[in-house]
Amino acid sequence: MLNWLAMSRARFISFEGIDGCGKTTQLNLMAERLRARGVNFIATREPGSTPIGQEIRKILLDSKTTGLTSAGEVLLYYASRIQNVEQVIKPALAAGKLVLCDRFNDASWAYQGFGRQLGVEFLRILDDLVLDGFHPDHTLIIDIDVETSVKRAQRRNTAQTYDENRFETEAREFFERVREGYGWLQRREPSRFFQINGNRPVEAVHADIATLFDEWLE
Ligand code: TMP
């Protein structure tokens, strides 16, 4: 058994995938595992994770939000992101903590760059300006088919007491483009991305992720 406690160190790992892919469940399972092993880590998410990010999240995900342009949308995601980077992620890394993030900039490339068709050049410029090369060390993409995604996301949103449904009203083609976007990102930077088949039981997906973490934290 690997000594995880001795391996705790600054590293930034993001979890990505289309809506309903199970990344939040998987992040929580990994957080439990890390906690049990005494690893010094934090879990954060986007949009959200800071007081300003939480306010921005409400605007972005509330289905009552109308008239938001694609450029306006992506700028709000980056506004939330830079608050998270400066106030949460960088301080944690500086303190030697492992950082798990439920979505990061790749979500904007996939959802706004591909889904909304803003294009990769728009996202590249925004990334350079706002993040200045800051990016996760490793990114997990939990891949599921669009059919499953739409079903799971709808189930989740009917169970929620608050309204975060704005993206669930998108057409199927939107999620196809987002999924293609994640594929494109992985082909562009194969050393950072790891695709996991999310069309399997939670435990099987978790086992694969745990194996990857063992390698990364070695
Ligand atoms: P969540 O359900 O994973 O919390 O994400 C919220 C929604 O926001 C989800 O539909 C994906 C979308 N999103 C973007 O469109 N662009 C982004 O940059 C991020 C972080 C999320």
* Claim: this prediction has a pTM higher than 0.85: yes
Q: For residues 55 and 50, give the distance between their C-alpha atoms in angstroms, rounded to a whole number.
A: 9
pLDDT tens string 173-209: 999 999 999 999 999 999 999 999 999 999 999 999 9
Average pLDDT over every residue of 111-126: 98
State the Cα–Cα distance between residues 131 and 209, nearest whole angstrom: 27
CA of 76 to the centre of ligand 1 (A): 11
Q: How confident is the model at residue 119 (pLDDT cuts 50, 70, 90)?
A: very high
Q: Ligand 1 centre and the CA of 46: distance in Å?
A: 7
Count of positions (residues) in the chain: 218
Cα angle for residues 174, 105, 201 (degrees, 5° grid): 65
Distance CA 146, CA 107 (A): 16
Nearest CA to ligand 1 atom 19: 107
The residue ranking higher by pLDDT, 46 or 1, is 46
All structural domains of the chain, each given as residue ranges with its CATH number in brackets, are: 4-217 (3.40.50.300)
What is the overall mean pLDDT for the chain? Answer: 91
pLDDT digits (tens, 9 = 90+) for 136-164: 999 999 999 999 888 876 776 666 666 66
Write the residue with the smallest CA distance to atom 18 of ligand 1: 108
